[in-house]
Structure 1
Amino acid sequence: MNYQNDSVRRQDRLLDQPEATELLRRGEYGILCMQRPEGGGYGVPLNYVWDEADAIYIHCAPEGRKLHCLRECDRVTFCIVGKTQVLPARFTTFYESILLDCRARTGL
C-alpha cells in the first residue's frame, strides 16, 4: 500500500506508517464510502479482512445498494477509526484514524 499524506493539513498529528499499518491490522470495522449513481454519497460500516499487502476484502450480497454503487463507480474511500478519547471539558476528541483511497472490484 502507498502511504501518502501530503495533503493532510495537520501534519503534526499524522500516524507514522507503522502506526497506520497497525491500525489497519487491528481495526474492528471500517466505513466504506461510495458515490451513489443518482448523486450524493453513501457510507456503510463493514467488517473487513486485510491481506497484509494491498487489498481489503469485504462481504457483499449478490444485489443491493452497496453493489449497485460499486458497479457504477469503483473509486471509494475506506475509513478506519481506532482508539478514541472524548474530552468534554475541552470540547474535543483525541482519536486515531486512517482514510484509504481505493479502487473497488467485485466478483472475486
Structure 2
Amino acid sequence: MKYTNESVRRQDRLMEESRAIELLAHGEYGVLSMVADNGGYGIPVNFVWDGDSSVYIHCAPQGRKLQALDANPNVSLCIVGHVNLLPGRFTTEYESVILFGQARRGLSDEEKMKALHLLIDKLSPDFKQIGDKYAHGSFHRVEIIRVDFTEFSGKKKSVPHAD
C-alpha cells in the first residue's frame, strides 16, 4: 500500500504518513464509498486494519452494499479523525485519510473468524471472551469484506490559535 499525496490539491494541508497510519489503526469508523447501479453509494462502517494493506468490514450477509460490491469491487474508504468546528472563524480544523482499493468477498471461514477477532480486539477489547462467544454464535449471519488497498493519502487543517 503506497502513501501518496501527489493528487491532494491543497499541498499545504498534507498529513504526515505516521499520523495517517494512526488514523487507519485507531479510527472509530470510516465511510465506504462504492459505485451502485444508480450512481455513487457511501455508507459509514466499522473497520479494522490488518497492519498491512487491507481492512476488514463486517455486515449482514445481504443488502445494497454487497450488491454494489459484487457489481464493481472498486472502493474508497474515508476515515475522519479530529474535527474542531470554529464558527467564529468560519472554518473547521480537521484530519482525514482516504484509501483506494478493491473489496473482496468469499473469504474462508478461517479468515472471517480472524477478522471478527481483530474487530473485537479493536472495538471491544475489554470483552474478548464474550466477543469470541458472540462471534461464534452469530458467524452464520455475518459477512466479512476484505478491502485490499493500493494507495492512500492524508490531509489536515490546523488553525493557529484555534482556542
- Common fold: TM-score over 0.5: yes
Query: Is residue 18 of structure 1 aligned with residue 48 of structure 2?
Result: no
Q: Which amino acid aligns with 1:80?
A: I
Q: Which amino acid aligns with 1:35?
A: V
Q: Which amino acid aligns with 2:94?
A: Y
Query: What is the deviation of 1:84?
Result: 0.5
Deviations for 1:63-94, whole angstroms, at most 9, x for unmatched residues?
11000000000100000000010000111111
How far apart, CA to CA, are the structure 2 residues paired with 1:90 and 1:9?
22
Name the Cα RMSD after superposition: 0.8
Deviating beyond 3 angstroms after TM superposition, the runs of 4 or more aligned structure 1 residues are none
How far apart, CA to CA, are the structure 1 residues paired with 2:95 and 2:35?
25
Unaligned regions of 5+ residues in structure 2, if any? 108-163
How far apart, CA to CA, are the structure 2 residues paired with 1:97 and 1:35?
21
Partner of 1:50: 49
Partner of 1:63: 62
Q: Which amino acid aligns with 2:20?
A: A
Length-normalised TM-score, structure 2: 0.64
**Larger relative contact order, structure 1 or 2 (CA cutoff 8 Å, min sep 6):** 2
